Amino acid sequence: MAIDRAALAASIDQTLLKPTVGFKAAAEWIEQSSQLGFASLCVSPFLVPVTTQLLSGTSTKVCSVCGFPLGYSMTESKAEEATHLVNLGCQEVDMVMNVAALLESEDAFVKDDIAAVVAAVRDASRGTGLVKVILETGYLSDEQIVRASRIAVAAGADFVKTSTGFGPRGASVEDVRAMRSTVGPDIGVKAAGGIRDLDAALAMIEAGANRIGSSAGIEILAAFDARSGE
């Protein structure tokens, strides 16, 4: 394989965003995931404090979501939510772009919406926090994916991301290729939505993703280990 186990783990945002998972189940999941070398654990906003506590002393970062999953919150609400998340211990914030505004070509509105969250995260984290912008590519044409990616970069985003996992479809290799070719080598590309096995994760990385969002990170690593031992 072209990627080793440590690099694969470090590319995964291990994700827990199910609306039915509470504190007890989350704590067990965090303990199970905390020592595997994932880039981050991406959790529901109310789980950020417990995640911050349980990840203390590890290299795995705390990630959560803003304006999730529909992206149509008021800009001020998104910025306030992002600030609160960082103050609770979040080091990375995945925000949902205002898809409706993009579809109506209100590009200035979309840019300002993203820029407000970027500024909030930068201020609250003293410049260390990362912002990933979820485009929800299932609603977008190829041209709109390119345009949304350019807007996110212009607004200061660190990453563009395919999907919430709650939209009409998840990530595709074609989405990732289009996003990578648009943003260039210096901006992150995160593939998320429907990535549940090793082959899917490796295909996204090959296409240009340097982060994978998946609730199946443990299973993906187990499959890598099994394949490496063949």
Single-letter amino acid, residue 46: F
Q: Are strands 12-16 and 92-96 parallel, antiparallel or unpaired?
A: unpaired
Is 190 considered catalytic here? yes
What do you get for the CA distance between the two ends of the chain, in Å? 12
Rounded CA separation 38/10 (Å):
5
DSSP string, 145-178: HHHHHHHHHHTT-SEEE---SSSS----HHHHHH
Is 18 considered catalytic here? no
Give yes or no for a contact between 190 and 14, defined as CB atoms under 8 angstroms apart: no
Identified catalytic residue from 13, 61, 78, 94: 94
Identified catalytic residue from 61, 78, 132, 161: 161
Identified catalytic residue from 61, 78, 132, 190: 190
Q: List beta partners, residue 43.
A: 16, 64
Is 4 considered catalytic here? no
**Catalytically active residues, by annotation:** 94, 161, 190
